[in-house]
Amino acid sequence: MQRFDVIVVGAGPAGASAAYAATRAGLRVALIDRKSFPREKLCGGLITGRARRHYAEIFGHAMPFEPQDCKTTVDFWFRGRPMGLIKDAPALYTTMRWDMDAMLCGQALGAGAQDFTGQAVAEIDHDARTVMLKGGAVLDYGVLIGADGVHSQVARALFGQPFDRQRIGFGLEIEARGAPSDPAAPIRIDLAAAQWGYGWVFPKRCSTTVGVGGLLSENPDMKRAMADYCAVLGLASEEASVKGQFLPFGDFRPIPGQGAVLLVGDAAGLVDPITGEGIGYAMQSGQLAAKAAIAALGAGRPQTALSHYRRALRPVHRALHMARLIRPVIFLPALEPGFARAFQRSSTLRHDYLRLMAGEVEYGQILARLVLRLPRLGIMALRARF
């Protein structure tokens, strides 16, 4: 049996960040992923200013520009109608996730984490604090960090199921490699391309990522929503491989783990329910989990890791809770027309949406502004309906 201070299951942004931070602190770390890197990953590949700041804090340097394209123009649409073009948006970056994730995983392994990528987990025994790999190896841990996504084996072993189907989101995406890719083309966001969700177009150097996502419970036929969206864009969805993925749209776990077991990133449901941003939260939670493990192991009490982690994660949970309060104003069918009209008329609202993604404003400030606008939004909704 091999013994580790920390075992991280999942080597994406959350897991790589956790493994890097724990390894740099002098802990013996195992990094496990069932896939070898680089590997494909369903994700729009949008890197926000918030994500880049967390990267710099964790890895000690600015995120390399490669393999990213910088975008400062965003085009908003609503049900086929233009809502406003923002030409001076806070910088957003588009990337291919297999490149970015391979870069992050490589840094964690380069820092000294032991490489168990390309090896699947067969069994997790939380009582014995062991992880058995399908190849037969048994690893012993002090603290276990589950960074294995929305279908998390670690979460399933703790709670019986990784997520609540009534609250989970679902997305479909194509990588239109044959589509013309103009480096100057804006990012496009279509509100209501799916129910309680949106569509996106992220132009990249060699391809264009197109997708739709929304609450699963409100979208019984997401394939139809995807086909309709591609038709609006003039793309033939059947010409590219359509891939689907559950998305934890704000379905975060108030208690993200148990004792010496911590959940981070998508496994903890840490995705913004309005903007869909998850990479920044993934890296942030990975770092916070590593710090919690360091504190708990340093005190000789690994079972207290969750207490440390929950305290550190409170600001993130508070922000996501506020986002869930705001979400009905944007997506509730009765209020949707009023919000759309206000969004079209107000460049401030459009800029606030992008500033949220950049981390320049927080949801508390947005909520305060929306409270003042609610009566007007209600009147606009009535006018739009009648």
Q: What structural domains does the chain harbor?
A: 2-45+96-165+250-321 (3.50.50.60), 169-247 (3.30.9.10), 332-385 (no CATH)
Cα 107 to Cα 350: distance, rounded to the nearest angstrom: 36
Cα 260 to Cα 258: distance, rounded to the nearest angstrom: 6
Predicted pLDDT at 312:
98
SS3 42: coil
Cα 217 to Cα 248: distance, rounded to the nearest angstrom: 13
Cα 67 to Cα 44: distance, rounded to the nearest angstrom: 14
Predicted pLDDT at 183:
64
Region of residue 118 (phi > 0: left; psi between -120 and 50: alpha; otherwise: beta)? left
What single-letter DSSP state applies at residue 295?
H
Supply φ then ψ for residue 79, to 5 degrees.
50, 50
Cα 48 to Cα 304: distance, rounded to the nearest angstrom: 32
Cα 302 to Cα 299: distance, rounded to the nearest angstrom: 8
Q: Is the pTM of this model over 0.75?
A: yes
Q: 161 with 29: CB under 8 angstroms?
A: no
Helices and strands: H and E segment counts in the chain: 10, 18
Region of residue 45 (phi > 0: left; psi between -120 and 50: alpha; otherwise: beta)? left
Sequence letter at residue 198: Y
Which neighbouring-strand residues pair with 33? 117
Predicted pLDDT at 370:
64
SS3 164: coil
Q: 34 with 11: CB under 8 angstroms?
A: no
Q: Which of 168, 171, 185, 163 minimizes the C-alpha distance to 75?
A: 185
Please give the C-alpha separations between residue 230 and each of 42, 191, 227, in angstroms, as whole numbers: 17, 14, 5
Predicted pLDDT at 179:
53
Predicted pLDDT at 22:
98
Cα 33 to Cα 13: distance, rounded to the nearest angstrom: 12
Q: What angle do CA 44, 257, 328 make, to 5 degrees?
A: 50
Q: 179 with 227: CB under 8 angstroms?
A: no
Cα dihedral 10, 15, 16, 22, rounded to 10, equals -130
SS3 152: coil
What stretch of H or E contains 141? strand 138-146
| Positions of the chain with pLDDT lower than 70, given as ranges | 42, 65-68, 177-183, 237-240, 369-386
Predicted pLDDT at 341:
83
